[in-house]
Chains A and B, each alone.
Chain A
């Protein structure tokens, strides 16, 4: 469903991604791990064009996505994204956050959107918070609203950019739980995370990124228990 060939990205002189190749199939859950600064987040952000690739090929559903800025927002409608810092809209209630894009981007009927939004909030366990403003929520609740907001667009793939890194440790679990359920439902997911046990549990495949290239990939079993590359072994020794 997503295919990336020889992707390069520069920030001025800094060569962040140095030829990344990967292919992600429908319904697959893929986890990107690696040391900080390895380009995981940048790779993820290239997939929905929050960063523009400098070189390489990006195919979504076998369609070549070029950098035609006028079409990018159409592409993004099908790609949900969850951010490290939630980025909820503070001037809107939880419900308004969730219905904002379906109503104003997809031009769906407001009543229908509200119905869907209530179902989604139920799903992430926040049915009672619909009319609350985001500043009254805990970090874990905010992130679950952000997931509901992304799901409201009925995306075909969800990108998670370190969704639990900004959370207090005791709030990590509730967010991971929602993500697990989503994975079980067959959502295609690409996740950048430092939660190794979570990665091991939900991932179909794990990619290890180091200095802008994928140096090892495999099932969680292969990568966590029998890492081949020395850098991966070293990294896992530190985090596990």
Chain B
């Protein structure tokens, strides 16, 4: 279904853009390319997934720690968190990827995969930190007072009472960030990791059939995102995030 829709759209586009040449793209040609590159793209999809999952797990840890730093009463930790979030949100992701892979080679040499994963983790971590901070602050302050009145220390109250409620409340925004993270992983193509976007670039360059291969890449991303969304919705339902 989706494939056909894509094909129709790009036939229309190609015809309207270049009526003189009267390029006619046949559906069977497109399907042929799809099948021929299927193995390659499945491998590339695996890489995209591996990158996304590893970097998002790291990003969640970074996000949680930075959120707690930003909320702590220690002004040094505060300041550190503010600078981190400011620097990451203030510069483009592609710059951060390049900086980690090419920029600091005289300090530490990272493989393309780890440079990409770490860059994605640090980048998403800054946004996730703000998501967690907002969620923690949205918990009624009576919860902390009740926990303290029962003799809990700050950290125990945070762990047992505040965080479980806050994490649940963060899930819708977190899901959104995960989807952004998955798509942003395409930028590591520029440091030579063979993931979906990189493969589509090289196929397109080799065959001069740009429209075809970028459309194919789009299909893979779309399917991945649909699966992601499905899983996130399931988790939201399961945890009943609407309830306090």
Contact = CB atoms under 8 A, between A and B. Distances in A.
B18 interface: no
A73 B152 contact: yes
Interface string B123-143: 000000000000000001011
Contacts of B142: 83, 85, 87
B164 A50 contact: no
Interface size class of B (residues with CB under 8 A): 20 to 34
Contact of A100 (B145, B150, B244): B150
B146 interface: yes
Given A91-B164, A91-B168, A105-B156, A76 B143 contact: no
B160 interface: yes
Interface in A140-160: 146, 149-150, 153
A89 interface: yes
B150 A76 contact: yes
Contact of B146 (A73, A79, A83, A104): A83
A87 B146 contact: yes
Query: Dominant SS at the B interface?
Result: helix
Contacts of B168: 91
Contacts of B164: 91
Nearest to B157: A73
Given A87-B140, A90-B244, A101 B148 contact: no
Contacts of A146: 146
Contacts, number: 63
B151 A105 contact: yes
Given A87-B142, A90-B165, A76 B151 contact: yes
B140 A135 contact: no
Contacts of A91: 164-165, 168
A226 B148 CA distance: 40
A119 interface: no
B145 A50 contact: yes
A150 B145 CA distance: 13
Contacts of A89: 143, 146-147, 161, 165
Interface of B: 140, 142-143, 145-153, 156, 160-161, 164-165, 168, 243-244
Interface of A: 48, 50, 73-74, 76-77, 79-81, 83, 85, 87-91, 100-101, 104-106, 135, 146, 149-150, 153
26 contacts: A50-B145, A73-B148, A73-B152, A73-B153, A74-B151, A76-B149, A76-B150, A77-B150, A79-B149, A80-B149, A83-B142, A83-B149, A89-B146, A89-B165, A90-B165, A90-B243, A100-B150, A100-B161, A104-B160, A105-B151, A105-B152, A105-B156, A106-B151, A135-B243, A146-B146, A149-B150
